[in-house]
Amino acid sequence: MKVNLRRLQRRLRWGTWVASACCLAYLFLRYDFMTLPDDGCSPLLRYTTGNRLLLDRWPSRYAAGDALLFRGPDGLLFIGAVARTRGTERGVEDGTLWIVTDNPDCPGESSDDFGWIGRESCVARIVLAWPW
């Protein structure tokens, strides 16, 4: 059986392009960027105004210490950190989170105002922050 190397090379090149396009589409659908406004303040001390945030829009789970964006009951977007999760009976979490802020100079909305926050209100988990 004779192998046509040019044909094989063409198919491999085409397969590489398709795989690359699929990977890029996945990255663009799952992750997003957001910049904190320069004229405001951040309710979390680890982020400052003007930081550029890399957001994971489909996190599989939230853990204590994770920073996230969530919507309040009025639909506004807030930033906070997960303090704990509720409902670990039989190893199953009910998906609600206790969210806190730690910057006393910039009070933000948290679970002290809204109570336990459901997973459906969580918009994204903050993965990285750049200062530019």
Question: What range does the domain containing 36 cover?
Answer: 32-131
Q: What is the pLDDT of residue 60?
A: 87
Identify whether 14 is part of a domain.
Answer: no
DSSP annotation of 91 reads G
Residue 107 scores a pLDDT above 90: no
* Number of folded domains that form the chain: 1
Report whether pLDDT(3) > 80: no
CA-CA distance, 20 to 24, in Å (whole number)?
A: 6
Residue 2 domain flag: no
**Spatial separation of the C-alpha atoms in residues 41 and 51, rounded to whole Å:** 11
**Using an 8 Å Cβ cutoff, are 82 and 63 in contact?**
yes
For every residue of 19-64, DSSP letters joined together read HHHHHHHHHHHHEEEEE--TTS--SSTT--TT-EEEEESS-S---T
In a domain, 46, yes or no: yes
pLDDT tens per residue, range 41-99: 899 999 998 999 999 999 988 888 999 999 988 889 999 999 988 765 555 557 789 99
Domain-located, residue 97: yes
The answer to whether residue 120 sits within a structural domain is yes
pLDDT confidence of residue 101: 94
Computed over every residue of the chain, the mean pLDDT equals 89
CB 66 within 8 A of CB 81: yes
Q: What is the CATH number of the domain that holds 40?
A: 2.10.109.10
Q: What is the pLDDT of residue 131?
A: 82
- Angular region, 8: left φ>0, alpha ψ -120 to 50, beta rest: alpha
Whether 23 is covered by a domain: the verdict is no
Whether 41 maps to a domain, the answer reads yes
22 lies in a domain? no
